[in-house]
Amino acid sequence: MKWAVIVFTRVPIPGQTKTRMMPYFSPEECAKLHENFLKDIAQECEKVNADIFVCYTPEKGKAYLEKLFRKAKEYISQTGEGLGERMYQAIEYVLEKGYDSCVLIGTDIPELKCSDLEYAFRLLDVNDVVFGPTVDEGYYLVGMKRPVCEVFEKKTYGTGNVLEQTVQPLQEMGLTIGYVRRLQDMDDRDDITAYRSRMRRQKLLQNTHTGRYLLKKQKISIIVPIYNEETTIEKLQEQLENLQGKCEIILVDGGSTDATLSMIRPGFKVLHSEKGRANQMNLGAKESTGDILFFLHSDSELPKRPLEEIKAVIKDHEAGCFGIAFHSRQFFMWTCRVISNHRIKDRKVMFGDQGIFITRELFFKAGMFPALPIMEDYQFSLTLKEMGVKLGIARHRIYTSDRRFPKKVIPQLKVMWKMNRLRKMYRDGVPIETISKLYKDVR
């Protein structure tokens, strides 16, 4: 049996491909993403015992595609008025060369496997036409043994129910239809989010060209609630300036009454909210654009490569945090560090001073931080635990301020005991207003 695969594609030119991804991705990033789709598809096509034809547009892109499809038998420029006519003419051209069957595929489906193509050819042994359905009710693959022009007549591509509109008249003609597995094509940001989610479950996707590119291109938004931070704002800005241009940084002020706002340097985005970390962080999240939301306290000290560490965790987890440490060498501060870090692994609970980071999708699915005057991070963590979310921990620790703790040992122990008591009161259903009054604001 002589088989042929037709790869039907645009040339990845910035501004002319994957435009529905903009402005999430730049035109150059869209083109690079499409290029990675093609690399993955080329690898799978080459594993099939079939000749490869690349049918492309625009005409000047042949040299570009030759670098990606090194084993292609022939490159065909697309001809015809509409998409349907161009696909039909490509299939007709190839089948006229004496192939027993051919399969045409689009290039928005980087999860396509050689087994999908081989199964399509096997289905053509017993069916007239074969389709590969997409989640949005279109199709990414069509195969046939003879040109069937009715497949491509009077279709509005890019809208819902394309596959249903296509199949119904074929069945009325008495043609038999086969289907390979359903895949999700990659058209917009939501499709990218879904692909990244699948990568956490299907580790092999992380090693594809598309997977590696999408892991690299995850965008992080750092959201910092601030309130009367005269003593911390300068140091905070010094470490965040090194991250400018690499991520989005949002400072959310809760109505500072000191000189905090006047000390913020040009270039930092500042939002204004009602006081309360939950209010501030939720506003920052709503106004952010990142795929990963990183909630940072203003008195925290980051490790050297925080963005890389966050991405390394998010590769396999939907949420996580850093372990914490204190600059203080006192025994009880060391004890506090050990207990806090152990709590993440043992009780699956993380607190805000550990630098919570989470995928954008999960953050809003979990309902954001609850509108509580205190314990918002604790309750949010409990919510994630109830949802069955597994937490990841970054490799290095984040140094957090010990300004809430007195300098002497006995007062330190009292503070630690008090914090545990307040959490116990919260779990026991004590009104949050009562707990809030017992929690002294150190600023």
Sign of the dihedral through C-alpha 71, 76, 81, 87: negative
How much is the pLDDT for 310? 97
| Residue for token pair 């809760």 | 254
How much is the pLDDT for 340? 58
Whole-number Å distance between alpha carbons of 264 and 248:
16
Q: What is the CA radius of gyration of the chain?
A: 28
Comparing C-alpha atoms, which of 191, 179, 82, 178 is closest to residue 136? 191
Give residue-wise pLDDT tens across range 296-324: 999 899 999 999 999 999 999 999 999 87
- What is the pLDDT confidence band of residue 328, given thresholds at 50, 70 and 90? low
- What is the pLDDT confidence band of residue 255, given thresholds at 50, 70 and 90? very high
Cα distances (angstroms) measured from residue 67 to each of 7, 9, 13, 29, 40: 14, 15, 15, 19, 13
Distant-in-sequence, close-in-space partners of 279: CB < 8 Å, separation ≥ 6: 254, 273, 371
Residue ranges and CATH numbers for the domains of the chain are 3-185 (3.90.550.10), 219-401 (3.90.550.10)
> Which ranges in 269-350 belong to alpha helices (H)?
277-287, 306-314, 331-347
Comparing C-alpha atoms, which of 316, 400, 391, 397 is closest to residue 357? 391
How much is the pLDDT for 42? 97
Say whether pLDDT at 198 is over 50: yes
How much is the pLDDT for 332? 47
How much is the pLDDT for 349? 81
Q: Let me know the angle formed at the C-alpha of 374 by 392 and 265, rounded to the nearest 5 degrees.
A: 75
Say whether pLDDT at 80 is over 70: yes
- What is the pLDDT confidence band of residue 188, given thresholds at 50, 70 and 90? very high
Give residue-wise pLDDT tens across range 139-168: 999 999 999 999 988 665 656 688 988 999
Q: What percent of the chain has pLDDT over 90?
A: 74
Decide if 41 contacts 112 (C-beta within 8 A): yes
- Mean pLDDT across the chain, nearest whole number? 89
Cα distances (angstroms) measured from residue 254 to each of 233, 251, 278, 400: 14, 10, 10, 20
Say whether pLDDT at 284 is over 70: yes
Give residue-wise pLDDT tens across range 348-374: 788 888 899 999 999 999 999 999 988
Decide if 267 contacts 244 (C-beta within 8 A): yes
**Which helix (H) or strand (E) is 161 found in, with range?**
none
Say whether pLDDT at 414 is over 70: no
How much is the pLDDT for 442? 45
Would you state the structure tokens that stand for residue 395, as one six-digit string? Answer: 């490799």
